Amino acid sequence: MKEIEYWMGKKEIEGMYTSDYWNNIEEEKTKEWWIEDSKDKKVEQYLLRSGLKEEFDLALKNSEIKGKVLDLAAGTCWTSAELSKYDNVSEIDAVEFSYHRINDLAPKTIESLGGKKEKINRILGSFYDIKRDDETYDVVVLSQAYHHAQYPLKLFHECNRVLKKGGYILIIGEHIVDKKRIFRRLIKNILNRKFSFDIFKEFYNHNDPLGDHSYLLQDYKFTFYAYGYDYKLLSSGVRGSSIFIGKK
């Protein structure tokens, strides 16, 4: 594969929010998509079993995938591998801040899934600082990524900057706070004898080691409308998971 492009140094990465968890190799080895050999089909099986492949395909079918694509928080690059199979896609910038994922796992995962590695640029960097010119990309993809942002509006602003007019932003794998989730959290708190019911503070918690945050549907709506996007909300087969397709 092409050599990694560095938007940040390893030392800078170590100081980033949630870096300790996402760069913990021993923890990563316990996960279902960890492979040592590109001939291993474990990743493909996991994506099918979990419904993540079906969810991702649904998002792609409801947008226009072409040209230059930005894959943010690309992880092991399974999303980039799938995007690279589209004939209309010319190039993919896969940005990730976990060095072992982008360096060690990504090449094996891409080969395992039959991706076209010549289209994929692996980049070590932050999704808050996309080192490309304005209106560079035709599509921006955040799969199971947007809710990991400590500053979601800052992230969206940067995505909007590099997305061309008429381009698409795909925000996949979001867990929206609804009445059912609020009720379940109340019951859980009661069972745990926790009688401080600042539920929204818990959902918006920015101290989770995984960096998981949950937002209201109104939060997503506000962001899309504030930036002048048309958007649609899709439900996937993955329990509690939602997809937002925005057109600039």
Please report, for the domain that includes residue 243, its CATH number: 3.40.50.150
Return d(Cα 51, Cα 127) in angstroms, integer: 25
pLDDT at 188: 59
Q: Is residue 40 in some structural domain?
A: yes
pLDDT at 26: 77
Summarize pLDDT for 62-90 with one digit per residue, the tens: 999 999 999 999 999 999 999 999 999 99
Q: Is residue 127 in some structural domain?
A: yes
Residue 246 near residue 224, CB atoms below 8 Å: yes
By residue range, what is the domain housing residue 173? Answer: 5-179+211-247
pLDDT at 183 over 70: no
Pairing of strands 242-247, 230-235: antiparallel
Number of domains in the chain: 1
Q: Is residue 205 in some structural domain?
A: no
pLDDT at 189: 52
Residues belonging to the chain:
248
Summarize pLDDT for 192-246 with one digit per residue, the tens: 666 555 555 544 555 555 567 778 888 899 999 999 999 999 988 888 899 999 9
- As a whole number, mean pLDDT of residues 25-39 equals 85
Return d(Cα 232, Cα 224) in angstroms, integer: 10
Q: Is residue 133 in some structural domain?
A: yes
Distances in Å between the Cα of 63 and the Cα atoms of 115, 182, 246 are: 20, 31, 9
